[in-house]
Structure formats: structure tokens, C-alpha cells
Chains A and B, each alone.
Chain A
Amino acid sequence: MYPDFNWIGIDNYKDLAKDGEFGHAIYVTCLIAIIVTLVSNGLGLLSALLVNFKGWIYNASRTVFFTPQVLSPIIVGFIWSIILTDDGVLNKLLGYIGLDGTSWLANTSIVVYSIIAVIVWQSMGFCTVVFLATLQSIPSDLYEAAKIDGCNQWQKFKHITFPLLAPGITINTVMLLISSFKVFDQVVVLTNGGPGTTTETISLKIINMGFNENQMGYASSMAVVLFLLIGVISVVVVTLLKRREVEY
């Protein structure tokens, strides 16, 4: 971007280590990534179990669960920014049932969780589809054998369904972790990193540093840290989750 530049060795990385705002961005990003991954997996599994039957109503439900996934994150963010404002739909609905709402996008102790909820809402459909595919690949004779042995529903889930869902959990966890660490669109549309710097994520910080403050070198060093973070976490998570995958 600039015709001239100075070689400054690892100064940018040294500055990064001391940069409190970047540290905060890493914390926010990790918080989003961990909660989104856990909750989306949980809700995705629940919804997959709910719609893993034959019939038009279940097919329609699958479509409903998957619809948010095909929407652009920008559009999702825009829709939720209207829902989450102080006089938005959510607070009005809460008012009807006698509950006090809050300022979902301005309350600093809540706003990160508002963003997380929006991302979970969107990514849950992906988890549902992956879990559904995995569920349907489990041989039915295993359930028949369990029935003959006198297993109840919980025992069937614990000893057959859950262990055989491991490949699905691996895929969902890795994909969600990677996409959550890169989270940008929803944050920009909902809060643009605010109020103040409360919801600034690493990707947002990189874009602002590079294209607002014109500090491409410093932004690049942040991007390298993000790359390493995603790389290391992905390898660790895949290694750990692969260990618990089983075949009957």
C-alpha cells in the first residue's frame, strides 16, 4: 500500500505484547468463540434429535432451523440490531410477560452476550445439519440390539448415539471455532466494536488498524497472531476430539 517502508524487525510483535487493547480483543474473541462453539453444538444436537424423524413436519422444521445459516451475516446483524434496540421487539415481548428488558446493545456487561446469541442463532442450523447427517449414519441394528438388551432411551443415547456422534462434534467444533475466531460481520453491524471498545474482536481490530489508522505493518502482525491462534487451537482441538471418536 505504501511505496516506502522501514524494516523494524520484531518491534510490532513486541508492541503487540504490550498492547492492552489487543489483549482485550483477544479476550472478547476467545469468549465469543468458546461460548458460540459450546452452545451451538448443544442446541444443534438438541434440534437434530428433535427433527430426526420422518414426516413433513420434521422436514419443515429442518428447513426452519437451517434458514438462518443461508442468510448473510450482515443481514442477520441488521435484523437483530432492530430487534435488540431498547424499544425493539425483544424488550416489547418481555414487557408483555411482565419482565423488564435491558439495553442489549449498550449495556457493557451484556452486549458481548447479545452478539454471541445472534451468532449462535445463525450457526445452530449448520450444527443441526451435520448432527442430523451423523445421526442418520448410525446403524439401526445397534438400537435394536440395545432394545433387546433392555436399554432405556437415555442408555441408548449415552452408549450408542453420543459416542457415534463424535465425528459430527469434531467437524462442528473445528468449523465453529475457526469461524468464531474470525468473527467480524455481525459485530460491525450490531455494535462496530462498541460501546467504546467493549466488543472489539481481533478481526475488527485488524481492519481498523490497517484501514483506519493506516498502520498496515502493525495490522499484519495482528493477523499473524490470529493465524497462529486459529492454527494452534484447531490442531489441539482436532487431536483431542479425534481421540474420542469410536467405531462399532
Chain B
Amino acid sequence: MKTTSRLETVLASGNLAVTSECGPPRGARPEKVKEKALLLKDYVDAVNVTDNQTAMVRMSSWAAGVIIKQMGMDPILQMVTRDRNRLAMQSDIIGAYSLGINTMLCLSGDHPKFGDHPMAKGVFDLDSVQLVQMVKKMRDEGKFQGGADIDSPPKMFVGAAANPFADPFELRVARLAKKVKAGADFIQTQCVFNLEKFEKYMEMVCDRGLDKQVHILAGITPMKSAGMARYMKNKVPGMDVPDEIIKRLEGVSKAEQPEEGLKIAVESIQRLKEVRGVHGFHIMAIEWEEKVPQIVKNAGLLPRPAENELKNL
């Protein structure tokens, strides 16, 4: 084991891992973090804590992560390179680790243009690949990015994101390979709706033997309505929503659409469980966290492995 990360332990045990996410509040409301996290307790192995997601100011991801940690759960610290330079990122990594956070996800982050401070200067001192490299170097070599020794280095289980659907498609596996080469231990993918395309992607991933080097968690997002599906298809860059999904949702009454959306999510998980190289699921229920337990349960992903079970491995 490289770290004490619960996610690492679950993945190493051969179990399918389950993660979900919690967006910190836009204000000093620790109880909001607790509310959201509580919905997920015992249903997921770790909870991603987003970092100023969509470039909107929120409670810092490490602070919200600490709150979640104090609840006996396992946060995944998301970190975007948009808001901090390498000094700030490294100090936050040390700080978060000192407070018990041992898993993180490295991202570049949405462009400031999309958020509530479009006038802010994006930092982008590093990109996500270089952030992965830096975190790995801190852990494995005990060195700061600048080369100096760290007195007691943080041991982070390092994740990165992958979007199998953004074009050019042929570049997507190469890009994943780059993140693996940089040192990513696990990957959480963009929401998978186009299962066929994802399966094709995973085949290419396995052909290159990348499935042996990194744990891939397929991103799952339940659709609340046909309208949401259309929005995701047309308005969200890099999102691939096949027409069949929209048609299927349109095929039922408006009142039944949420249930149909959850059904699609569960079926997707069941199908993707069989795909070689898929080692778990990252469930992003956008403003619908309360449905995560139902999805996890219906997809047959319960019970989540208990701490003592994993220790016996």
C-alpha cells in the first residue's frame, strides 16, 4: 500500500469501489456539509469534495473535507490548478494531510469565465498532469516540486479525471496514458451515458494495458428529467448523451421521469460492472444526493466493505 487511503484499500481488495461527491456550501455553514455527507454515509467508500466547482467561490475543499473526516467518513480532496500556484497547492496538501485527508483528485478546473468571478486571473501555474506528478513526487520521493526535502511528506492516494467523450476521441486514451505515466493511482471519468462508446474506450485502455496500472471509476449521473438530458447533451461541453436516453425519458410521463432516470443509472452500472478495467463507480447526483443510496443499493453495490473486513486482507 502506498497510503492509508480507504479508497486504495477497497480497490486493492478487488471490490468495486463507490464514490460520490459533495459540493461545499457558498457560506460558512458547516452543517450543510454534514447534511450532504450524512446522506452518503455507509453507501460510498469516499466522498469527493469539490474545489470551487464551476469557478464559484465555496467553502475550501480541505475545510469541508476535514468536517467529513470528523464524521468518520473519507473525503477525496479535489484540487484545481486554476486558483493556486504550486506553493499554495503544496502547503494545502500538507495541511490537508495533517488533518487526516489522504486521498485527492487533481484537476485543472473550469475556466474562471464560467463562475461568479469572471474577472479573476486564472493561475494555472501547473496543469492537472503536472499536479499529479507533484503530489506523487511529494509522496514517493519526499520532495517538494522545487526539489527540497519534505520533513515528513504527505502520502496522498492520487486521482485524476478523464473524459472519454470529448473529442478528438483518438486522443483520449493517449491522454489517460499521460496521466497514468504522471502517477495517477485512480481515475474518475466524466459522466458515462454513451455506454457503447465508453466500452470502446475501455477496450482501447485495456489494449494498452492501462487497466493494470490504474483503477478506473466510471462516472454515473442520474437524469432527473428529459429536459436535463437535453441540456446536458446540448449545453455542457464534452458531454455525450445519446438520443436513446432522451427518448426513453420522454417516453414516460413527467412525474415518472426521475424514476426512469434512476433506473437508467442503475442499469448503466450493472452493464459497466462487466467491463474489463472498470474498478468502481463515481456517482455524481447533481443536486440529487439523496438518491445515491438508492442507486448504490439497486445496483447491487451494497454492503460497502467494512474497515475490519479490509484489514484482514
Q: Do A and B come from one complex?
A: no
Binding site for A on B (CB under 8 A): none
